[in-house]
Structure 1
Amino acid sequence: MSSSGLKPKVIHVFPGLRPGGGPAGYAFYLQQALATLGAAKSLIEIVVPFGSQHKGNDPQLGPSWRLRLLKKMPRWLAAMLLGMRTVHTLKKDALRYYGFTNEQIDSLRKGKVIVFHDYRLAFSYMRSHSMHPEQAILLMSHSPTDASSEKVEDWRSIFGDSAIWKEVYEKLVRFEFETFLKVKGVIAPCRNSLEGYFLDFPRGRNLLKSLAIYEVKTGVRGLNAVHSRREIRERWGIAPDDKVVGYFGRRHHHKGFDLFVRLAELAYERGYTGVWFVSAGKGYLPSPSHLPNYLDLGYLTEQLADAVAAVDLVVVPNRFSYFDLFILEAMSLEKVVLTSRVGGNVCFDAPGVLLVNELSAESLLQAIEELLSNDRLREFLGRKNREVFEKEYNLPAFAKRHLLLAETLLGGRY
C-alpha cells in the first residue's frame, strides 16, 4: 500500500471480454498473456462487467427490434434519438449501464493507476464517482478513428447519408474530447495508431499533440489450421492451383471492404482467370452476389484459421487503422499481408507486411498481380512474418511489454 492508501496496481477496465477485436478482444488476449507471466499478477488487474466474460452479440442474428423500429422513422428523428440515447448513457453512468457492480466500482477507487479501454467508462468514472485525487487515470481507445466518428459512421452505414450526422457527431465528440482532456495520458500500440483521431475536430487534434502517449504493441495467440489447404479449397469449390486473395474482418468503410469488392470487380472485368477473392466477417456493407470470382464465407469463428491458411495472400485495405490484430494472426500462419500505409499499419515492421502508398483498387490489383506471380517470394516473406510474430507479437512478449508499462506507471513517471 502506498502512502496515499492506494494499491500499487494498474487496473485495466474493459466493457467486456471475449475473443475478437476491439476492447473486449484486447482484454481476452491481455488476460491470456498475463497468465504466461506470473510476475505481472501482483501489478496488473483486469476488471470487466460482472457476467460479461465471453459474451457478445451473435453476428448471425438479425437487427434488433429497436434498430428495425428506428429504420422506419425519418432519418433526422432516428439520428436525434440515437444521439440522445448515447448522451443519456454518458451522463447517467456508463459504468452501471455496462453492468459494473458497486463492489467493482469501489475496487477501482483503490488502485493507483486505472486504464480505461472505453472513453465512456472513463468519463463515467471521473464524472459520477468519487475518485481518489492521487489516482492516475489513463485511456486506451481501440478504434481506428475517435469513437464518436466510428459510431456515427456505423449509423450512416445503416440509415444512409445525411447532413444530420455531422450535427450528431459534433454533440458526441465533445464528451470524448473532455475525457481525453482530463486523463493523465493515452496508451496506444504506436503513435501512428491515433492518426485518424479527431480529424473533424481541431481542438482534439491539437490536444493529441500535447498528451503523454505510452506505446505498447499488442500481441495475440497465433492461429493454427486444422484442415489442409486442399480440403478447404475443395469445400469452397476452388481448384488447388487457383490463386486466392482473402479479406477477413468487418464489412466497414473504415476497413476498406468496399475497396476489396471493387478489387474483385476490376480483376473480373480485366479477365483475370484462376484468381478468386474470398471474404469473411460481419458488418453493414453488403457482399457482392454478382461476381463469379467471389466467395463470401460469412462470419467465421473456429473455421477462421483454416480459411486464412487456405488463401495465397491477405489484403487489409484500411482507410483508417489502429493496430489491426488480424494482421498479427495472418502473420502467425506465414501469410503475406498487403495493406495500406495508414495509422498503426506502418508500425508492424515485418518483411511480409507490405504497404501500398496509394489506396485504390487499381494499385492493389497491380501489387497483387506481382505477388501472385512469385510463389517463392511469398513463401519467403511468409516465413519471415512468422519469425517476427514469434519474437515480437506472441503472448509472452505482449505480457512483458505490459509489465514494463506497469512498472513505469507505478513509479509515477507520467
Structure 2
Amino acid sequence: MSKSKKILIHFPENKIAPKGGPAGYLFNLKLGLERNGAEEFSFLPAEIETFEQNKTLQNLVPSRIKDLRRLHNMLALPSKSSFEAVDYSRYSAIHFHSTEDMYLCRKALESYKGKVVLTSHSPCAYHKELFSRLNPKDARRKAKELSCLEVIDRYAFERADGIIFPCKEAEEPYFHTWKGYDEVRDEQKIRYVPTGIISAITQVSRHAVRRKYGIPDDAFVVCYVGRHNEIKGYDALKSAATGLLAQDDVWFLVAGREGPLFGCDHPRWIEVGWTDDPHSLMAASDVFVLPNRETYFDLIMLEALSLGQIVIASRTGGNKYFERFNSPGIFLYDEPAEINKLVQQIRKSSRSERASWGSANQSIYREEFTVDVFAHRYVNVMGEICGE
C-alpha cells in the first residue's frame, strides 16, 4: 500500500488493550503494523473515560438506577451525533470499529471524500447486542421504541465503502439475528481478513496449576474459559459434565465470573472465577472446549491453537472456518450431546497422539494467525479498498 495514503483507524489509542472486542483486535493489529513498518496507519488521540466506562463509579450506583440510565441512553442514541475528533480530510480512508461510532459521526462523514471502512466486532447485529444489555423487563416494556436502534446498523452497513469480516463464516450470526441483513449486505463491499494474535503465554507451569487446585498430574482435565451463559454454551458444557464426571480421572477447570449460570456441585468441577492468567489454566488442561451457540470469530480459539491445545468447538459461525485446516487436534460438533463422546475419544487416545495433535494446532497458528500475517493481510485489503 502506498505510503502517501494516510489511514485513520477510528479508535482511541489509549483504549487499545490485550482483551476482548475491538480493543484486543486492535492491540494485535497495531503490533503487527509496527512490526511491518506500516507508518501510514494512525489512531484517534487519547479519550477521556466516561461514567459508563468507569467501573469504580458504576459500582457505587444502585443497579436499578444503572438500568434506567442505560435505557435512557439507548432511547436517545438515534438522535445523537458527535464531532470529528480529528480532521478527517487528512486521511484517504477511515476504518470504524463499531456501527455506533460510525453512526455518531454520520454528519462529519457527509462531506468526507475518502473511503469509509467498517468492522463490526459485535457477535451479532449490534442493535440486538444493545437490547441484551438492558434489564429484560425494560427491553420488553420499551420494545417498540427500541426498535429504532436498527437505524445504527443500517446506516453503517449502507454508508461503508468497504466492510471487513474475519471470515465469511463470521457473518452467520448477522443473518441469524437481523432480518434486515440481507437487504443491507452488499457482496461487492465485503472483504475477509482473518484475525491474528500474539502467542498466548503462560505464567505458571502445568504442574503448579494442577497442584494449586488439587488436580493429580495424571488426571484428564477439560478446560472452559468465558462467560457463564447460554449463548456461550456454558449449559451445554455442564450437561456433558454430568456423564464425564462419572469417570474418576476426569476434572473440569473453569474460568470466568459465575452467573447467570453456575457450575456443577462436584469436587472435580473447579470454578476459578475471573483470572488474568487464563492461558496457564488452558495449558494445564488436556482439552479446551468452546461450546458457543453463536460465534463471530473467537480469539480464544486462536489462543488455544497458539498454546498447542486440543480444541472441541461447536460447528457454528467463525468456528467453521477452522475445518479447512483438517487438523487432527480440532474437533467440531453439531449437537451439544457430542461433547461427551469427543472428550471420551480424546481421553482414550495416547499421550503421544495428543502431543502430535497439539503440535498440529500450534503449526496452524504459526502459519496463519500471527500478528505479522494479520497485518500483512490487512494492509493488502485496505489497499484494495482504497483502489490500489
* Smaller-chain TM-score bracket: 0.7 to 0.9
2:57 aligned with 1:82, yes or no? no
Take 2:62 and 2:190, find their aligned partners in 1: how far apart are those partners? 37
Of 112, 127, 141, the match for 1:148: 127
Partner of 1:203 in structure 2?
A: 180
**For structure 1, which runs of at least 5 residues remain unmatched after alignment?**
72-77, 97-101
Partner of 1:281 in structure 2?
A: 256
Residue type of the alignment partner of 1:23: P
Of 298, 301, 309, the match for 2:273: 298
2:167 aligned with 1:221, yes or no? no
1:34 alignment partner, SS class: helix
Root-mean-square deviation (CA, aligned residues, Å) is 2.8
Take 1:198 and 1:388, find their aligned partners in 2: how far apart are those partners? 29
* CA apart distance, 1:340: 1.0
Residues 366, 382 of structure 1: CA spacing in aligned structure 2 closer, same or farther, 3 A cutoff? Answer: same
**For structure 2, which runs of at least 5 residues remain unmatched after alignment?**
none
2:123 aligned with 1:123, yes or no? no
User: In 1, are the aligned partners of 2:77 and 2:149 still within 8 Å (CA)?
Assistant: no
* CA apart distance, 1:314: 0.3
Take 2:265 and 2:101, find their aligned partners in 1: how far apart are those partners? 43
Partner of 1:110 in structure 2?
A: 90
* CA apart distance, 1:66: 4.3
User: In 1, are the aligned partners of 2:95 and 2:117 still within 8 Å (CA)?
Assistant: yes
Range with greater deviation from structure 2 (146-155 or 314-323):
146-155
Partner of 1:41 in structure 2?
A: 39
Of 340, 361, 376, the match for 1:400: 376
Partner of 1:410 in structure 2?
A: 386
2:293 aligned with 1:319, yes or no? yes
Take 2:281 and 2:380, find their aligned partners in 1: how far apart are those partners? 36
Residues 293, 173 of structure 1: CA spacing in aligned structure 2 closer, same or farther, 3 A cutoff? Answer: farther
Take 2:186 and 2:176, find their aligned partners in 1: how far apart are those partners? 13
2:176 alignment partner, SS class: coil
Range with greater deviation from structure 2 (202-211 or 249-258):
202-211
1:19 alignment partner, SS class: coil
> Percent of aligned pairs with the same residue?
26
2:209 alignment partner, SS class: helix
2:133 aligned with 1:138, yes or no? no
Take 1:48 and 1:283, find their aligned partners in 2: how far apart are those partners? 36
2:176 aligned with 1:178, yes or no? no
2:281 alignment partner, SS class: helix
Please, what TM-score do these two structures have when normalized by structure 2?
0.88
Of 324, 328, 345, the match for 2:319: 345
Take 2:295 and 2:383, find their aligned partners in 1: how far apart are those partners? 28
How far does the alpha carbon of each residue in 1:331-373 deviate from its partner, in whole angstroms, 9 at most, with x for none?
A: 1111011111111111134412221122x2x211111111121
User: In 1, are the aligned partners of 2:74 and 2:146 still within 8 Å (CA)?
Assistant: no
User: In 2, are the aligned partners of 1:152 and 1:165 still within 8 Å (CA)?
Assistant: no
Please, what TM-score do these two structures have when normalized by structure 1?
0.83
Take 1:32 and 1:146, find their aligned partners in 2: how far apart are those partners? 28
Take 2:92 and 2:65, find their aligned partners in 1: how far apart are those partners? 43
User: In 2, are the aligned partners of 1:83 and 1:172 still within 8 Å (CA)?
Assistant: no
User: In 2, are the aligned partners of 1:144 and 1:320 still within 8 Å (CA)?
Assistant: yes
Partner of 2:236 in structure 1?
A: 259
2:208 alignment partner, SS class: helix
User: In 2, are the aligned partners of 1:252 and 1:284 still within 8 Å (CA)?
Assistant: yes
Residues 160, 277 of structure 1: CA spacing in aligned structure 2 closer, same or farther, 3 A cutoff? Answer: farther
User: In 1, are the aligned partners of 2:162 and 2:385 still within 8 Å (CA)?
Assistant: no
Partner of 1:26 in structure 2?
A: 25
1:199 alignment partner, SS class: helix
Take 1:250 and 1:45, find their aligned partners in 2: how far apart are those partners? 32
1:339 alignment partner, SS class: strand
